[in-house]
Amino acid sequence: MSVVSDFLINRQSHVNLDEPAPSEAVIQRIYHMAMRAPDHAQLKPCRFLLVEGEDRERLGAVFRDATLRAKPDASDEQLERAARLPLRAPLLVVIVARVVTHPKVPEVEQLMSAGCSAFALILGLEAEGYGAVWRTGELCYDRDVMDALGLSTDERLVGFVYAGTPSETLKSKTITMPDIHSRVTYWPKV
Ligand SMILES: Cc1cc2nc3c(=O)[nH]c(=O)nc-3n(C[C@H](O)[C@H](O)[C@H](O)COP(=O)(O)O)c2cc1C
């Protein structure tokens, strides 16, 4: 088995992330990996918005306000939790897809390409020795959050990739794999 195959089979998301955040040089490399996602008609739908340092607290305030608007009965604890969400990693990469009208490439294909970019970005981070996890949740689809992040109406928020240095080893995690025979079959010959 090649080193790359082994890496792909055994990769894992990391939810517990600390400083240091990926360096500028690593960000450059993972950007290039993310932009190599399959992309019908070379539309390059993705852009990446980085939120780091104290700006995460500003984003936390946006999350808090959006939660209060969506759920006016939210408790103080729920609001505080929303405000702390972006602090779970030193760097957030907001994956944004710009959707265009195209005669051959429907919106779903542009979003799938952006999803591939998100995964390529995560794999790139893991390959560079960092950890990452892709998160969405209600706030990902909240128009006020999108507006605060500067998304135009033709852009979609694909997800938040939380990135940093894994704070614990995941060696003990059991990777569950559905049985191959339930997922991989040959179309019966006629
Ligand atoms: C589109 C998308 C959205 C996700 N949103 C969340 C989320 O909001 N919260 C969460 O805990 N995991 C979320 N996940 C799952 C994690 O990214 C991750 O895949 C999961 O924790 C399994 O870990 P693994 O990648 O090591 O198998 C999401 C995954 C995808 C593809």
The CATH number of the domain holding residue 61 is 3.40.109.10
Ligand 1 atom 7, closest CA:
135
Is residue 6 domain-resident? no
Confidence band (pLDDT; 50, 70, 90) for 171?
Answer: low
Q: What's the confidence (pLDDT) of residue 33?
A: 98
Residue 190 CA to ligand 1 centre (angstroms): 40
Q: What pLDDT, in 10s, does the model give residues 16-71?
A: 999 999 999 999 999 999 999 999 999 999 999 999 999 999 999 999 999 999 99
Is residue 158 domain-resident? yes
Is residue 54 domain-resident? yes
Average pLDDT of the segment spanning 82-92? 98
Which residues 6+ apart lie within 8 Å of 125 measured at CB?
A: 22, 26, 30, 131, 132, 161, 163
- Distance in angstroms (rounded) separating the CA atoms of residues 151 and 154: 8
- Distance in angstroms (rounded) separating the CA atoms of residues 60 and 72: 17
- Distance in angstroms (rounded) separating the CA atoms of residues 156 and 146: 8
Residue spans of beta strands (DSSP E) within 142-189:
155-166
Q: What is the pTM assigned to this prediction?
A: 0.96
Looking at residue 93, the DSSP 8-state letter turns out to be: E
Is residue 106 domain-resident? yes
Residue 26 CA to ligand 1 centre (angstroms): 22
- What residues flank ligand 1, with Cβ below 6 Å? 12-13, 133-137, 159
Say if residue 172's pLDDT is above 60: no
- Domain hosting 54: range is 14-183
Q: What's the confidence (pLDDT) of residue 175?
A: 78
Is residue 9 domain-resident? no
Amino acid at the residue 142 = D
CB burial readout 131-165, b (16+ within 10 A) else e? bbbbbeeebbebeebbebbebeeebbbbbbbbbbb
- Distance in angstroms (rounded) separating the CA atoms of residues 124 and 8: 11
Is residue 3 domain-resident? no
Is residue 131 domain-resident? yes
For residue 175, the ligand 1 atom closest to its alpha carbon is 27
Is residue 31 domain-resident? yes
- Distance in angstroms (rounded) separating the CA atoms of residues 142 and 89: 21
Residue 170 CA to ligand 1 centre (angstroms): 15
Ligand 1 atom 4, closest CA:
135
Residue 137 CA to ligand 1 centre (angstroms): 10
Which residue would you say has higher pLDDT here, 169 or 138?
138
For residue 158, the ligand 1 atom closest to its alpha carbon is 1
Helix or strand or coil: residue 22?
A: coil
For residue 11, the ligand 1 atom closest to its alpha carbon is 26
Which residues 6+ apart lie within 8 Å of 62 measured at CB?
A: 144, 145, 148, 149
Residue 153 CA to ligand 1 centre (angstroms): 25
- Enter the tokens of residue 82: 């929303």
State the average pLDDT for the chain: 96
Looking at residue 185, the DSSP 8-state letter turns out to be: -
Q: What's the confidence (pLDDT) of residue 173?
A: 64
Domain tally, the chain? 1
